[in-house]
Amino acid sequence: MDMTDASKVSSMIVAELKASLGEAYVIDKPDEMAHYLTDWRKRFTGKAICVVRPASTDEVATVVRIAAQHGLNIVPQGGNTGLVGGSVPIGNGNEIVVSLGRLNKVRDIDTVSDVMVVEAGVSLASAQEAALNVGRLFPLSLASEGTATIGGAISTNAGGTAVLAYGTMRDLVVGLEVVLADGRIWNGLGKLKKDNTGYDLKNLFVGSEGTLGIVTAAVVKLFPEPKSRATAFCGLASTEDAMAFFKLAKAEAGPELTTFELIPRLGIELVLKHFPDTRDPLFFKHQWYVMVEFSSLTADGADTLAQRILFDSVEKAYLEDSVFAVTLAQRDEFWRLREYMPEAQTREGASIKHDISVSVDTIPSFIEMVVNDITALIPDIRPFVFGHMGDGNLHFNLQAPEGADGAEFLKRANEIHEIVYRHITAVQGSISAEHGIGQVKRERLAHTKDPVALDLMRTLKRALDPDGRLNPGKVL
Ligand SMILES: Cc1cc2nc3c(=O)[nH]c(=O)nc-3n(C[C@H](O)[C@H](O)[C@H](O)COP(=O)(O)OP(=O)(O)OC[C@H]3O[C@@H](n4cnc5c(N)ncnc54)[C@H](O)[C@@H]3O)c2cc1C
C-alpha cells in the first residue's frame, strides 16, 4: 500500500469511529493528539492513527471491534501518569489510543458491603472524595492521584503510601468489568466477598498493563474513615535503627501503622534546595529520616499510640529525634517534603532510577551491599534511596556526582543497573515493585523472570489476545 492508500484507509477508519462516537471524541489532528502520545517522563513518543474518547463500556467495545476489523492495535490510556512507557503507542502508526477519561461515573456506593462501583476513568482523587462523602475511606493514595485513574491503577496494580495497612490495588479490587480483545464485555462486577466458582479472572487483569483487556469499571473496597491521624518526622542514625523502629511500631500499632517512608539526608537537602517553600523538619541533621503515620478509628487514638511508640523508640535509642505534626498545615508540610522527592531529583539533574522490592527484613543489608558496589564503581555518585520501607519497596535511585556531566553519567546506566539487578536476583526481589514493566523493563523481565512463569504469561496472552492487538510491545 503506498502513502496515499494508507492515508485513505486511515481517513476511512477515523470516519467510521467518528460516526460511532461523535466527531468531537475522535482526535486525529497531530497537535491535539500530541498530549496523548508522549509519556509522563517524556522518554517515549509514539504514533497513532487517532485517539478516541469513548463515554461508555459499549462504546469501548465498538472501538475494539472496529480496530479488529481493520487489523489495528489498541493502547488503553488513563491519566497517562505511568512511569514505564506503558500508556503510549510504540510508534509503528497502526494503533488507536483509547483514552478512558470520559468513563468517569461513580455508579454505586454501598456502605453495607463497603464497596463502590467506579468507572475506569474516575481519578483516584475523585474516588477518594466520593468515599469521604459517605464517611468511608478509599485508601489508594499516590502523588499522581489527581490525574491517575482507577483503570490505570488497576492495570498497573498501583501501590503508594498506604499499602502497609490497606494493600496494593490488587487487594482493593472486588470485581471488574472488562472489554476483551474480541470486543466482548466481561461483566464481573460482583460485590461478593466469597465466590469460589473457579479461576479468579479479575486478578488476571490487575497489573496486566492493558495487554489482556480494557478495564471499564471496577468494584473497589471501602474502609471506615479514620477519626484521627498522627504524623511524625523522625531522625535516625542508620537503616538498622529504621528497621528496629519499624518492628516496634508494627508490633505495637498493627494495622494502625499506615505509613512508613524512609528518606535519606540527601532527599531532604535536595527538596530544601529546589523547593524554597519547604523547611528542614528537625533542628539537627540526621543520616536518615522516617516519615511515619498512624491512623485510628477513635478521636484521640492515633496521638496516644504515636506518642507511646515514639517515646519508646527514643528511649531505646532507635530514634535520634522526632517531631509531630501538631496542625493539619504541618502534616501537609511533612507530606509535601515526601512528595517533592521525585521532582527534586529531576531538578537536581541526571539520575538513574530503580523501583524495586525486597523482603522487608533485608532492607538495611541490601542498601549497604548495593551502595558499596556502586560507590566502588563511581566513588562520588550520590545514592538517593528512599520509599515505602514498610512494603519492602525502595526507589533505589542514584544521583549524578555534583557538577558531573549528566549525559556522561547516564552513559553508565547499564553498569549501574547490572549491579542493582544482580543483587535483586540474589535476594529474590522484584525488578518492578509498583510501576510495572511497560516498555522500560520489558527486556529485563525476559532475562530475570522465572522461565516457567514467563511461559505461562505468554500462554495467557495468546489465549486472551490471540492477534496481539492489546498494547503491543509492552510487558512481554
Ligand atoms: C508524581 C508521580 C507519583 C507516582 N507515585 C506512584 C506511587 O506512589 N505508586 C505507584 O504505584 N505508582 C505511582 N506513580 C505511577 C502512576 O501514577 C501509576 O502507575 C498509576 O496507577 C497510573 O494511572 P494512569 O491512569 O495514569 O494510567 P496510565 O499511565 O494511563 O496507564 C498505565 C498503564 O495502564 C494501562 N491502562 C490504563 N488504563 C487502562 C484501562 N482502563 N484498562 C486497561 N489498561 C489500562 C495503560 O495501557 C498502561 O499500560 C506515580 C506517577 C507520578 C507521575
Is the pLDDT assigned to residue 9 strictly greater than 80? Answer: no
**Could you tell me if residue 472 is inside a domain?**
no
Of 198, 224, 250, the domain-final residue:
224
Cα 26 to ligand 1 centroid, rounded to whole Å? 23
Residues 287 and 328 in one domain: yes
Q: For the domain that residue 388 is a member of, what is the CATH number?
A: 3.30.70.2740
What atom in ligand 1 is closest to the CA of residue 143? 3
Find the mean pLDDT for residues 3-7.
64
Residue 309 phi, psi (nearest 5): -70, -40
Residues 219 and 111 in one domain: yes
Answer whether 86 contacts ligand 1 (Cβ < 6 A): yes
**Could you tell me if residue 476 is inside a domain?**
no
Pairing of strands 223-224, 257-264: unpaired
Contact 344, 404 (CB under 8 A): no
**∠ CA 274-276-278 to the nearest 5 degrees?**
100
Residues 11 and 62 in one domain: yes
Calculate the alpha carbon distances from 269 to 263, 272, 284, 465 in Å: 11, 5, 13, 48
Tell me what percent of the chain is helix, strand and coil, each rounded to the nearest 5: 40, 20, 35
Residues 93 and 110 in one domain: no
pLDDT of residue 167: 96
**Could you tell me if residue 156 is inside a domain?**
yes
The model's confidence at residue 263, banded by pLDDT at 50, 70 and 90, is very high
User: Atom 6 in ligand 1: which residue has the minimum CA distance?
Assistant: 142
Residues 282 and 194 in one domain: no
Of 70, 99, 128, the domain-final residue:
99
User: Atom 8 in ligand 1: which residue has the minimum CA distance?
Assistant: 160
pLDDT of residue 92: 80
Residues 138 and 181 in one domain: yes
Find the mean pLDDT for residues 433-447.
95
3-state secondary structure of 219: strand
Ligand 1 mutation pick, 63, 100, 142, max ligand atoms within 8 A of CB? 142
Amino acid letter at 294? F
Is the pLDDT assigned to residue 4 strictly greater than 70? Answer: no
Q: For the domain that residue 36 is a member of, what is the CATH number?
A: 3.30.43.10
Residues 20 and 122 in one domain: no
Query: For 13-63, what is each residue's pLDDT tens digit?
Result: 999 999 999 999 999 999 999 999 999 999 999 999 999 999 999 999 999
Is the pLDDT assigned to residue 412 strictly greater than 90? Answer: yes
Residue 468 phi, psi (nearest 5): 60, 40
Indicate the number of domains in the chain: 5
Residues 206 and 248 in one domain: no
Question: At 203, which helix (H) or strand (E)?
Answer: helix 202-205
DSSP string of 28-64, one letter each residue = --HHHHHHHHB-TTS--B---SEEE---SHHHHHHHH
Query: For 349-407, what is each residue's pLDDT tens digit?
Result: 999 999 999 999 999 999 999 999 999 999 999 999 999 999 999 999 999 999 999 99
**Could you tell me if residue 65 is inside a domain?**
yes
pLDDT of residue 361: 95
Residues 208 and 257 in one domain: no
Of 192, 224, 256, the domain-final residue:
224
Residues near 251 by Cβ (< 8 Å), separated by ≥ 6?
A: none
**Could you tell me if residue 474 is inside a domain?**
no
pLDDT of residue 6: 67
Find the mean pLDDT for residues 279-298.
97
**Could you tell me if residue 451 is inside a domain?**
yes
Find the mean pLDDT for residues 238-245.
98
Radius of gyration of the chain (CA): 23
Query: For 192-208, what is each residue's pLDDT tens digit?
Result: 999 999 999 999 999 99
Answer whether 148 contacts ligand 1 (Cβ < 6 A): yes
Residues 452 and 410 in one domain: no
The model's confidence at residue 8, banded by pLDDT at 50, 70 and 90, is confident
Answer whether 158 contacts ligand 1 (Cβ < 6 A): yes
Q: Domain residues for 383?
A: 349-436
d(C-alpha 241, C-alpha 448), whole Å? 32
Residues 328 and 360 in one domain: no
Residues near 93 by Cβ (< 8 Å), separated by ≥ 6?
A: 47, 48, 49
**Could you tell me if residue 356 is inside a domain?**
yes
Centroid of chain to Cα 98: 20
Residues near 109 by Cβ (< 8 Å), separated by ≥ 6?
A: 115, 116, 117, 130, 131, 134, 136, 222
pTM of structure: 0.94
**Could you tell me if residue 212 is inside a domain?**
yes
Q: For the domain that residue 185 is a member of, what is the CATH number?
A: 3.30.465.10
Residues 118 and 25 in one domain: no
Query: For 61-112, what is each residue's pLDDT tens digit?
Result: 999 999 999 999 999 999 999 999 999 999 788 999 999 999 999 999 999 9
Count CB-CB contacts under 10 A for residue 11. 12
d(C-alpha 268, C-alpha 285), whole Å? 9
What mean pLDDT value characterizes the chain? Answer: 95
pLDDT of residue 5: 64
Is the pLDDT assigned to residue 3 strictly greater than 70? Answer: no
Query: For 160-217, what is each residue's pLDDT tens digit?
Result: 889 999 999 999 999 999 999 999 999 999 999 999 999 999 999 999 999 999 999 9
